[in-house]
Structure 1
Amino acid sequence: MYDLTGFQRDLLYVIAGEEEPHGLAIKEELEQYYEKEIHHGRLYPNLDTLVDKGLVEKGRRDRRTNFYTLTRRGRRELEARRDWEGQYVEL
């Protein structure tokens, strides 16, 4: 998790919070949060990086639509990150 960018971590959080979101749904969530447009050239390469790292699994809904889910490793990494953050930030 330490080697991910902030954007990649945000992708993990969005994927964890939705049930099998497709790329456009992830993009829309991040655009609301960042309050600016997220280009496909930024979104999909970063999703592919998370897949390559074994944190996210990519499935196929139909010929044009992929969906994304966290792997067990991805979920463990998010939990470890939350524990680490909790040492420093108490909300």
Structure 2
Amino acid sequence: MAAADEDHEFDFDHHSERLPEATKFQTAILAVLAEETRYGLAIKEELEDYYGEKVNHGRLYPNLDQLVQEDLVEKTERDKRTNDYAITDDGRERLRADVQWFAEHLLAESSGGGD
């Protein structure tokens, strides 16, 4: 298996084998948490701004729970009713890999390399 080269490019083959996949919605959650630790309703509000529509609790919290189970997000209790969510190192790595993958494909298309 190839390691990252001297230019520190991301080794997708190596990392994709050990990091769980994330849906687009989960990737958006990771992006929100990359800025700072937030509680659930703050995440919901940021996602609503991004999507331009209401985000249902029944969509948000199961996705947060899955990200927690996959160790991409850490959940801590703020008080009896509120939890804080923070991106983990693996979550940041997953987000970075996804963003880099999309950027490489976008750049390839804009330089005439994509079909």
| Residue in structure 2 matched with residue 13 of structure 1 by the alignment | 31
Q: 2:61 aligns with which of 44, 59, 78?
A: 44
Query: Number of matched residues?
Result: 90
Q: Secondary structure at the match of 2:105?
A: coil
**Unaligned segments of structure 2, at least 5 residues:** 1-18, 111-115
Equivalent residue for 2:76, pick from 59, 75, 88 = 59
Tell me how far apart the structure 1 counterparts of residues 68 and 20 of structure 2 sit (CA, whole Å). 16
**Aligned residue in 2 for 1:32:** 49
Aligned residue for 2:29, secondary structure, equals: helix
Task: Tell me the alpha carbon deviations over residues 4-57 of structure 1, each in whole angstroms, 9 at most, x when there is no partner.
Answer: 21111111111112x210000000011111111111111100000000111000
Letter of the 1:32 counterpart: D
Q: CA RMSD in A?
A: 1.7
List aligned pairs for 1:76-91, cutoff 5 A: 76-90=93-107
**Bigger radius of gyration, 1 or 2?**
2
CA distance in 2, matches of 1:14, 1:75: 11
Point out which structure has higher relative CO (alpha carbons under 8 A, 6+ apart): 1
How many angstroms apart in 1 are the aligned matches of 2:22 and 2:73? 13
Is 1:72 matched up with 2:89?
A: yes
| Distance of 2:95 and 2:63 partners within structure 1 | 17
Q: Which runs of 5+ in 1 are unaligned?
A: none
TM-score (norm 1): 0.88
Identity %: 50
